[in-house]
Amino acid sequence: MRVLNDYWTQKAKREGYPARSVYKLQEMEERFHILRGVKKILDVGASPGSWSLYVLRTVHPTPHVVAVDLSPLSLPAHENLTFIQGDITDAGIVKKLLSEAPFDLILSDAAPSTIGIRTVDTARSQALVEAVLGLASPLLRTGGSCIVKVFQGSDTRQILEELGRIFQKSRSFKPKACRSESFELYCIGLEKREGFN
Ligand SMILES: C[S@@+](CC[C@H](N)C(=O)[O-])C[C@H]1O[C@@H](n2cnc3c(N)ncnc32)[C@H](O)[C@@H]1O
């Protein structure tokens, strides 16, 4: 399977993306059309920047992307890109994001640093997912959507239930471009309910 993983990495390099994760977003876009018509996007856990770059390159007219991460992006400056460096669980960072709201779409590929102990890693992932879902209410406009990365073994059912409360439609999806040995999938909420603030 390493050959397949190298395939995605080489493809990303050839196409000028800093990470192979771009093909997961591409696949979700082809399946769910989450980027259609969006004007303002929040990209959580955006570094090194493939998802933000994919949006800036492929969506027309170009939306405004607000990217947030603990680490800097590996992207050149772009007039439609605002980068906020910091932790999305930090009140100061949330305040900055509030000043940028409302968003049409929240993308989160954020992943905690892992230590290789499954229970600890999934608990950290679950906490990060909850932090992202907590942002959907104040930051996302009615009708907006959200994609959030989840480590398998997290309580996916509970996450989907929470998404179902906020959004009209919710589902999970595992893109082909996820490493075969990887334990991640994405939970997707489409069309934020009216009055959910
Ligand atoms: C898999 S990478 C994202 C790759 C990115 N989507 C791309 O295509 O280039 C996960 C990112 O989540 C970020 N992250 C993890 N916890 C975070 C937090 N609490 N706040 C902000 N970013 C976080 C990490 O710093 C890391 O850069």
Q: How far apart are CA 93 and CA 29, in angstroms?
A: 28
Are the CB atoms for 94 and 118 separated by under 8 Å? no
Ligand 1 site, residue 83, Cβ cutoff 6 A: no
End-to-end Cα separation, the chain, in angstroms:
44
Instruction: Report how far ligand 1's centroid is from the alpha carbon of 69 (Å).
Output: 6
Higher-scoring residue by pLDDT: 73, 119: 73
d(CA 2, ligand 1 centre) in Å? 23
Backbone φ, ψ for residue 9 (5° rounding): -65, -45
| Residue 1: pLDDT over 70 | no
The residue whose CA is least distant from atom 25 of ligand 1 is: 70
Active site residue 95: no
Instruction: Give residue 5's pLDDT band: very low, low, confident or very high (50, 70, 90).
Output: low
Full-model pTM: 0.95
89 CB within 6 A, ligand 1: yes
CATH assignment of 2-192, among 1.20.1560.10, 3.30.1340.10, 3.40.47.10, 3.40.50.150: 3.40.50.150
| Residue 104 CB–ligand 1 contact under 6 Å | no
Residue 190 pLDDT level (bands cut at 50, 70, 90)? very high
Cα–Cα dist 147/169, whole Å: 12
Residues written for the chain: 197
Q: Which of 41-50, 51-60, 109-118, 162-171 has the lowest mean pLDDT?
A: 109-118
Q: Report the Cα 183 to chain-centroid distance in Å.
A: 16
Report CA(113)–ligand 1 centroid distance (Å): 9
The pLDDT, as a whole number, for residue 54 is: 98
Q: Assess whether the C-beta atom of 22 lies below 6 angstroms from ligand 1.
A: yes
Q: Please report, for the chain, the start and end positions of each structural domain, with discontinuous segments joined by +.
A: 2-192
Mean pLDDT (whole number) for 72-78: 97
